[in-house]
Amino acid sequence: MNEISENFDLHDHDHADDGKLPVPNEVQEAIRTLLRWSGDDPAREGLIDTPARVARAWKEYCQGYNEDPAVHLSRQFEEVGGYNEIVLLKDIPFQSHCEHHMAPITGKASIAYLPRERVVGISKLARVLHGFARRLQIQERLTAQVAQCIWDNLDPFGVAVVIEAQHGCMTGRGVKTPGVGMVTSRMMGAFLSDPRSRKEVLSLMGY
C-alpha cells in the first residue's frame, strides 16, 4: 500500500485495510474509465483511491441483492390481543438508486397493513423497505415490491404503501428541478376495495 492511501485511510474511519472488501482490478479500471470520461484525471492524488471506494460504496448501496426481504417477516406473532386496526410505520427515511442513471433516490415511505391474525415487529417493515431499496430501482417497482412482500407473507386484510422521493437524476441533471417530489402508492385488499379504509390509512399517513 502506498503512502497516499494510508493517509486517506486515517480520514476514512475505516480500520485496517485487511478488513475491507477486495476490489478486482477490472472494477477499479471501469471506474477510472468513468472518471476520465467525466473529464478528470484518475491518476491525480485525490482520485487515487476513489475507484476502490466507489466500488465498495456500490456494494453497500446494492446490499439488497444479497438478501430476500421476506426473511424479515418470518418471525410473526399471533397474539395480537384482539387488535384488528391499522398498523402503520410512518415516514421511514430510505435511500435507493435509480436503474436508469444509478443516481440516488432519497425519500420516505409509509407502510401500513390491516392484520388478519398475525403481526410482525414494527421495525421489520422498515427492513423490508431497505431490502428492496438497496438495489437499482424505479420508485414504482419499489412501492409495489414492498406491498407485495407484506401481502404474501403476512396474509393481512390490506396493505398500503406510499413512497415520496426525490430523484437525483432529476434534481442534479436533465431538467434540474430540486425540491420536486414524486409520490407513488400501492393499495391492496381492503385499502383497495374499501374507500373508507383507504381514506383512513391515507389520513393516518398524513395525506
Supply the residues annotated as catalytic: 98-101, 139, 167, 169
Over the window 153 to 172, marking each residue x when it contacts Zn ion by CB under 5 A and - when it does not, the resulting string is ----------------x---
Q: Is 169 annotated as a binding residue?
A: yes
CB atoms within 10 A of CB 51: 21
For residues 146, 69, 61 and 160, what is the CA-based torsion angle, rounded to 10 degrees?
Answer: 10
Closest approach of Cβ 106 to Zn ion, in Å?
A: 13
* 3-state SS track over 96-108: EEECCCCCEEEEE
Q: What is the CA radius of gyration of the chain?
A: 21
Q: Which of 20, 101, 116, 127 binds Zn ion (CB under 5 A)?
A: 101
Residue 128, interface with Zn ion (CB under 5 A)?
no
Q: Is 62 annotated as a binding residue?
A: no
* 199 interacts with Zn ion by CB under 5 A: no
How far CA 194 is from CA of 158, 191, 198, 200, in Å, comes to: 10, 6, 6, 10
Asked if 138 is part of the footprint of Zn ion (rule: CB under 5 A), the reply reads no
Q: Is 136 in the site for Zn ion (CB under 5 A)?
A: no
User: Using CB atoms within 10 A of its CB, is residue 156 exposed (0-12), middle (13-18) or buried (19+)?
Assistant: buried
Q: Is 53 in the site for Zn ion (CB under 5 A)?
A: no
Cβ closest to Zn ion, residue 101 vs residue 116: 101
Nearer residue to Zn ion within complex by CB, 30 or 169? 169
Query: Residue 42 or residue 172: which is nearer to Zn ion going by CB?
Result: 172
C-alpha angle 149-146-144 in degrees, rounded to nearest 5: 105
**Is 11 annotated among the ligand-binding residues?**
no
Query: Quick count: other Cβ atoms within 10 Å of Cβ 195?
Result: 9
Please provide residue 153's backbone torsions phi and psi, each rounded to the nearest 5 degrees: -95, -25
- Choose which of 36, 59, 100, 199 interacts with Zn ion (CB under 5 A): 100
Q: In angstroms, what is the minimal distance from the CB of 101 to Zn ion?
A: 4
CB of 100 to Zn ion, least distance (A): 4
Among 98, 133, 162, 187, binds Zn ion (CB under 5 A): 98
State the DSSP H helix or E strand holding residue 2, giving kind and residue range, or none if neither. Answer: none
- Which residues contribute to the site for Zn ion (CB under 5 A)? 98, 100-101, 169
